[in-house]
Amino acid sequence: MHRPHEYRLQMDADCSRIRFSQFPDFEQHYLELELPTMRLLEHSLPDCVPLGDMLAKSARTLSDALNLFRKLLEDLRPFYDNFMDIDVLCHVLQPSPITTKDNTRVFPLKERVYLKVTIGDPFASIASMALKIIGPTEEVARLRQVLSDGLGNWDSELDMHKNLLRIFDLCYFPMPDWNEAHKPEQEQEQEQHCNICFVYRLDSGAVPIVSCDNARCVLKCHAACLEEWFKTQLDGKTFLDVSFGLCPYCKAVSGSQRNSLGESSKVKSFPLSSAEAVHLICCTLGCSVKQTVVRMEQRFFLNLILNIN
């Protein structure tokens, strides 16, 4: 089992744990097992990979377990390669820090607009890729159409980063202002803090990327904080997973749609008519008016519109 040119092997003093790490081309990866049961203790593969079940079914010896893990690393090479340029050439805001377990990236697409990339199945990266645009409603609607048109011309010879640049007709994605790089990290985070909780990064890893649709409003906050703010307002409302209320700064109508990482899709920042409310809900949820009406009882839908007005 000891092959220092292929991996590093470590064992604790009482020989109850064994760890394999520093594999060629996969230096950040590791596999740790309990001895003699070979129960999985820790590993570096994406959380959605059921490694424990796979080991229990097909690995009877340490060699079996190690060979399976190394095979999975090779199978996951396209998954990691697709994220490689994004991690290096984009300003990834979430997750932070990036680990080999993460299958999602959130980074700026343009000013006040962000792109969330999720790979649902690491063994089928492109087929399971999900893209979400986060930002002001009208700009998101426009960019969704650009994305929809561009996905039809996806080049399988290029990685994810290069394809996204082609789709949005960009030379590069926005990066931090390097003139600010000399500032201490704590000072930079204080300048970019949430305007509601005055913290930059929450324990969940979320950062303040939610802004008001009113271009003159300086609001920037976490989706979770905005949702909590809406709950304190008499005119705040929640419909499915979309929350509506007044912007804490400019008092325009605003809203947020929560997801697993705490991002938000913004909605219109001015008083809504019934028709605009219907259109707004549909845009935020990513469906058509007809689809939305079918999904709910007509009476409930009419009551919602009356309440919004």
Domains observed in the chain: 8-75 (3.30.457.30), 78-167 (3.10.110.20), 178-271 (3.30.40.10)
* Cis amide bond preceding 248, omega within 30: no
DSSP 8-class letter at 196: T
Spatial contact of 48 and 120, defined as CB atoms under 8 Å apart? yes
How many other β-carbons are positioned within 10 Å of the β-carbon of residue 51? 19
Q: pLDDT under 70 in the chain at which residues?
A: 1-2, 177-191, 235-242, 251-309
pLDDT at 248 (0 to 100) = 79
pLDDT at 290 (0 to 100) = 38
Cα–chain-centroid distance for residue 171? Answer: 23
Q: In the numeric block, which tokens belong to residue 8?
A: 């590093």
Q: What is the mean pLDDT of the chain?
A: 80
